[in-house]
């Protein structure tokens, strides 16, 4: 089972939170669901942080009463997804002295088997172009540094590692990434970098939109696997620190 639960929130008055609020909010939601934030080497949850129009100044973020905000929490394992599905927030989410009214909740659910059949086993005609939005900073670990760029092979590896860790269907590893790297290319982008606070430091990530294209010369099966991983990314997130609010990934309608 896979789940992505999205809550819509609102504030009654201008509300200020420290930029580092995502860590506390992630811990709070995980605690309410009876889940650990860390522990597992491979993250089995994905947290978005608050998405919506905000104002940043002097290390703080301000929410406005005339705006709606969304946050999401995804589960990549059956027991984790069940815990998130059972998570009931009260009418008000209180955090670091702020009060956010819970307006709505939407659950998107599927399974690894359903995704695999839809995009691979049923041999559908693959999408040759997919546009992805990254509303939260996204980056990849590169030895002792972080790379804030949408490199196709790094994105595909991020999704594939999570899939292989949790799905009942193993897809392959380094050889598959090599084949996919020759098939999937970055055809356009509109991105910028944004700093993301982690503990006492900052990580630079990219936000914006990109379009991945599957070359026509690419094998149909590879194109189908690329489609599968791209759609899985909406649950798994992309890159590093996805439990803490980085790497949220959304497919844009054509």
Same domain? 14 vs 76: yes
Q: Rounded to an integer, what distance in angstroms lies between the CA atom of residue 6 and that of residue 217?
A: 38
Burial class (CB in 10 A: 0-12, 13-18, 19+), 56: exposed
Burial class (CB in 10 A: 0-12, 13-18, 19+), 204: middle
Q: What is the pLDDT of residues 73-99, one digit of tens each?
A: 999 999 999 999 999 999 999 999 899
Q: Give 124's DSSP letter.
A: P
pTM for the predicted model, two decimal places? 0.95
Q: Give 19's DSSP letter.
A: T
How many domains does the chain contain in total?
2
C-beta neighbour count of 59 within 10 angstroms: 9
Let me know if residue 120 belongs to a domain: no
∠ CA 138-211-70 to the nearest 5 degrees?
50
Let me know if residue 31 belongs to a domain: yes
> How would residue 198 be classed by pLDDT, with cut points 50, 70 and 90?
confident
Same domain? 72 vs 11: yes
Let me know if residue 16 belongs to a domain: yes
Same domain? 131 vs 248: yes
Same domain? 134 vs 103: no
Same domain? 132 vs 248: yes
Q: Rounded to an integer, what distance in angstroms lies between the CA atom of residue 4 and that of residue 46?
A: 9
pLDDT at site 56:
82
Same domain? 62 vs 175: no
Last residue of a domain, one of 110, 135, 156: 110
Q: What is the pLDDT of residues 109-168, one digit of tens each?
A: 999 999 999 999 999 999 999 999 999 999 999 888 999 999 999 999 999 999 999 999
Domain that holds residue 238: 127-252
∠ CA 73-77-244 to the nearest 5 degrees?
35
Residues in the chain: 254
Same domain? 97 vs 142: no
Q: What is the pLDDT of residues 218-243, one digit of tens each?
A: 789 999 999 999 999 999 999 999 99
For residue 40, pLDDT over 90 is answered with: no
Burial class (CB in 10 A: 0-12, 13-18, 19+), 230: buried
Let me know if residue 115 belongs to a domain: no
**Which CATH number goes with the domain that contains 99?**
3.30.70.1890
Q: Rounded to an integer, what distance in angstroms lies between the CA atom of residue 136 and that of residue 155?
A: 15
Q: Rounded to an integer, what distance in angstroms lies between the CA atom of residue 67 and that of residue 225?
A: 38
C-beta neighbour count of 150 within 10 angstroms: 23
CB 48 within 8 A of CB 137: no
Q: Rounded to an integer, what distance in angstroms lies between the CA atom of residue 85 and that of residue 63?
A: 27
Same domain? 15 vs 100: yes
Same domain? 106 vs 134: no
What rounded mean pLDDT belongs to the chain?
94
Give percent of the chain above pLDDT 90. Answer: 86
Last residue of a domain, one of 110, 138, 169: 110
Q: Rounded to an integer, what distance in angstroms lies between the CA atom of residue 235 and that of residue 56?
A: 28
Let me know if residue 50 belongs to a domain: yes
Same domain? 19 vs 102: yes
Same domain? 84 vs 146: no
Last residue of a domain, one of 110, 143, 176: 110
Buried b (16+ CB within 10 A) or exposed e, 82-110: ebbeebeeeeebebeeeebeeeeeeeeeb
Let me know if residue 121 belongs to a domain: no
Let me know if residue 157 belongs to a domain: yes
Q: What is the mean pLDDT of the segment spanning 45-56?
A: 92
Same domain? 85 vs 131: no
**Which CATH number goes with the domain that contains 211?**
3.30.70.1900
Let me know if residue 118 belongs to a domain: no
> How would residue 3 be classed by pLDDT, with cut points 50, 70 and 90?
very high
């Amino acid at each position: 089972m896979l789940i992505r639960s999205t809550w819509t929130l609102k504030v009654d008055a201008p509300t200020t939170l420290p930029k580092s609020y995502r860590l506390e909010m992630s811990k709070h939601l995980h605690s309410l669901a009876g889940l650990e934030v860390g522990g597992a080497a491979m993250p089995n949850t994905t947290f978005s942080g608050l998405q919506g129009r905000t104002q940043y100044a002097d290390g703080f973020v301000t929410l406005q009463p005339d705006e709606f905000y969304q946050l999401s929490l995804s589960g990549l394992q059956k027991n984790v997804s069940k815990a998130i599905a059972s998570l009931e927030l009260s009418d008000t989410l209180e955090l670091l002295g702020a009060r956010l009214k819970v307006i709505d909740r939407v659950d998107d659910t599927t399974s690894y088997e359903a995704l695999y059949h839809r995009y691979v086993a049923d041999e559908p005609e693959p999408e040759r172009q997919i546009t992805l939005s990254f509303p939260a900073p996204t980056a990849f670990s590169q030895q002792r540094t972080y790379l804030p760029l949408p490199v196709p092979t790094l994105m595909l590896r991020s999704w594939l590692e999570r899939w292989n860790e949790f799905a009942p269907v193993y897809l392959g590893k380094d050889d598959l990434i090599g084949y996919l790297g020759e098939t999937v290319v970055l055809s356009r982008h509109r991105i910028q970098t944004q700093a993301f606070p982690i503990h006492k430091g900052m990580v630079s990530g990219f936000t914006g939109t990109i379009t991945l294209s599957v070359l026509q010369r690419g094998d149909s099966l590879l194109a189908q696997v690329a489609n599968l991983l791209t759609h899985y990314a909406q649950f798994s997130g992309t890159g590093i620190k996805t439990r803490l609010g980085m790497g949220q990934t959304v497919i844009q309608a054509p």
